[in-house]
Amino acid sequence: MPEKKSEKRTREELVKENSNYLRGTIKEELSKNTSHFEEADSKLLKFHGIYQQDDRDARQERIAQKLEKDYSFMIRTKLPGGQLTSKQYLGLNAICDKYSNKTLRITTRQTIQFHGVIKGDLHKTLSEINKNLINTYGACGDVVRNVMACPVCDIDSEYSVNLNQLAKEISNHLLPNTRSYYEIWINEEKIDLGEKKEEEPLYGKVYLPRKFKIGLALPQDNCIDLFTQDVGVLAVVEDKKLTGFNILVGGGLGHHHNKPETYPRLASELGLIAPDKLIQTLEKIVKIQRDYGSRENRKHARMKYLIDDKGLDWFKKELEERVETFHGKSLLEPYRKIKSYKTDDHLGWHKQNNNNWYLGLFVENGRICDIGERKIKTGLKEIIEKFNPDIRLTPHQNIILVNIKEENKDKVNAILQKHKIYTKENVSQLRGNSMACPALPTCGLALAEAERVLPNIIDELEKLGFGKETLSLRMSGCPNSCSRPPVGELGIIGMSANKYNIYVGGNFEGTRLNKIYKENINSENIVPEIVNLFKAYRANHKPDEGFGDFCVRSGIEGLKSLIKS
C-alpha cells in the first residue's frame, strides 16, 4: 500500500525524503574538521543510533564567551531482549574506556548507551562496536526501536516461552533495508544496482512518522511495562503450552506540559493471534502506522493518536484486510483476559533450568561506573573476566549475570563485597524500585534534573525511615518520560529548572496510569511532599494495599485532605 501523502509535512519528513535512504551527507561531514553536524544530518544520525548533544552545564558560559557549544555524541546499541555475551560486554567496556566518558549506561529498553563521544571518534567507535557483533542501527530514529523481552524467560523454570529468541527474530525482520549504515560506518562498498532502484519495502522512502516500540511479556512478569509499548505482545500459555499471543496496540507515555492534545496512553487490547502469525502481523501493524500516522505534526505522530483518531475497530479492520491475503481467514480471535499481572526485578541469586545460577545486580539508574568506594564497573569487569557469564540487561536498568556455576557463587559474592557493589540484601526496597532518565547535562530535551538528583532524594527518604516502602518510583527530566513515570505509583516529571510535577496512583504491575497530584514543586520541596504522602499512606492504608492503590482509593483531593489533617 502506498504511503499516505500530505500537503503539509514537518521538517523531519523532508529531511528523511531527501536523505537518499538515510545517507544524507553524513559520510562527507565525518571527514570535516568540525565538532558537530549540521541540522539535517544530526536528525539522520539518530537512525544510525547516534544523538548529537552538548554539555548543558557549560552552555551559558560558552555563549557568554562567544564559543560554540561543547558538542559530544551519545551512541546507543541495539540489543533485542537485552542479551550480551561476556566477550561482547568486555568489548563494550573497553570501547567505553577508550572513546566515551568511561561510563556505560543501561537504558530502560534493555540496551547500552555511551556518552561523551567526540565527532572525531565516531567512526572508530561504531566500527569497534560492530566488530563485537553488535550494532547501533535503528536504536534511535523513526523506525522500530530495540525490541524488549523478559530477560530470563529462557533460563528460569518459572517461565515456559523463549521470548528472547523471538525478540531477535522480530528485530531482524523489522530492520531497515538500506545499506547506508554499513557504507558509512563499516566501510562497505556501495552496491551498484544498475537500473534497479534501492527500496525500503517495509519503511518506504520516509520511514515511520515517529519512533515505534515493541515489547514481549508474560502475565507473571510484566517487567517490560507491556502497556506502554506501541505494540505489546503477551504470551498466552495454557497447560504449559503456548496457544497464542495477545496483541495490545497504542501505548506511549510521552506528552507535553500544558498541551492537553498530547497525553500518555496505555495500549488497548486488540485480540489474540496464533504463534505462527506473529511476525507477519507485527509487520502489517508497522505498515499501518507508516501509511496513516501523522506526518504533519510530530507531537501527534505516535500510533496512540492514530488509534484514538480513527478508533480501535477501524484499526482492527485495517489489519484484518492486510493480513487476510496471507492467511485466507480472520486473523484475530477475542483477546484472552488476564486475571492479574506481576512484575519482577530479577535481583539476587536464582537457580536456572540447567542447574547453574543467575545473579541480578542493582545498577542505580543504569549507570555502570566507579564512584568512591562503590566500584561496580571494576567489579563487573573482574567477575566477567574470571567466570565468563552471559549478560542480560533488564527494563529496570539492572544487569543479570547468567550461567554461574554453583562452586563459583561464593567467589562472585567475595568480589561484590570487595568492590562494595549493591546486592539485593543491601539495597532498600525504595531504591531498588526506582528509575531515572539521564536528563541534564547531556539530554537536549531535559527541562530539569533526574539521574543526578534522584539518588539524593532516596538518601534523604532512607534517613527518614522510608527505605522499606515498596512502590515503583520513577523520575524523568521532561514529559518524554523515558523512565516511564506515568505508570509509576509515584512519578516525578521535570517542569522547568528545579521545578517538578508529582503524580500518584499508578500500580506496581504497570497496568494503570497515575494522575497529577501537585504541580511546579521546587526541587527542595520534593522530599517533604513525598514524606507527607508516605505518612498518610502508613496511617490510612488497608492491609496489603499498595501505595498506588491507596492513592486511587483516596483520590487526589482526599490525599490532600488527609495530609492537611
Name the region of 128 (left: φ>0; alpha: ψ -120 to 50; beta: rest): alpha
List active site positions.
76, 145, 211, 213, 437, 443, 478, 482
**What is the pLDDT averaged over residues 372-395?**
97
**What is the pLDDT averaged over residues 383-391?**
98
pLDDT value of residue 7: 63
Looking at domain 11-327, its CATH superfamily turns out to be: Sulfite Reductase Hemoprotein, domain 1 (3.30.413.10)
pLDDT value of residue 193: 65
**What is the pLDDT averaged over residues 211-236?**
97
Counting DSSP H helices and E strands in the chain, the numbers are 18, 22
**What is the pLDDT averaged over residues 356-365?**
98
Q: What percent of the chain has pLDDT over 90?
A: 92
CATH domain 431-564 topology? Sulfite Reductase Hemoprotein; domain 1 (3.30.413)
Which residues are 53's β-sheet partners?
A: 72
Confidence of residue 190 (pLDDT cuts 50, 70, 90): confident
Amino acid code (one letter) for 34: T
Name the region of 114 (left: φ>0; alpha: ψ -120 to 50; beta: rest): beta
Nearest to 514 by CA among 466, 478, 483, 555: 555
**What is the pLDDT averaged over residues 93-120?**
98
What pTM did the predictor assign? 0.96
Residue 328 has pLDDT above 50, yes or no: yes
pLDDT value of residue 195: 64
Q: Domain residue spans in the chain?
A: 11-327, 348-426, 431-564
Confidence of residue 240 (pLDDT cuts 50, 70, 90): confident
Decide if 131 contacts 5 (C-beta within 8 A).
Answer: no
The set of residues, in sequence order, having a beta carbon less than 8 Å from that of 452 and lying 6+ positions away, is 439, 440
Residue 327 has pLDDT above 80, yes or no: no
Q: pLDDT for 130-189, tens place per residue?
A: 999 999 999 999 999 999 999 999 999 888 799 999 999 999 999 999 999 999 999 988
pLDDT value of residue 192: 67
**What is the pLDDT averaged over residues 232-257?**
95
Q: pLDDT for 191-223, tens place per residue?
A: 766 667 889 999 999 999 999 999 999 999 999
Residue 4 has pLDDT above 60, yes or no: no
Q: pLDDT for 400-447, tens place per residue?
A: 999 999 999 999 999 999 999 989 999 999 999 999 999 999 999 999
Amino acid code (one letter) for 105: R
Q: What percent of the chain has pLDDT over 70?
A: 96
The set of residues, in sequence order, having a beta carbon less than 8 Å from that of 14 and lying 6+ positions away, is none
Same fold, 11-327 and 431-564: yes
Q: What is the mean pLDDT of the chain?
A: 95
Confidence of residue 329 (pLDDT cuts 50, 70, 90): low
**What is the pLDDT averaged over residues 117-139?**
97
Q: pLDDT for 27-49, tens place per residue?
A: 999 999 999 999 999 999 999 99
Confidence of residue 1 (pLDDT cuts 50, 70, 90): very low
Preceding omega of 395 cis (within 30 degrees of 0): no
| Integer angstrom CA distances of residue 484 from 161, 266, 286, 396 | 26, 12, 22, 10
Pick the CATH number of 348-426 from 3.90.220.20, 3.30.565.10, 3.90.480.10, 3.30.70.1290: 3.90.480.10
Confidence of residue 3 (pLDDT cuts 50, 70, 90): very low
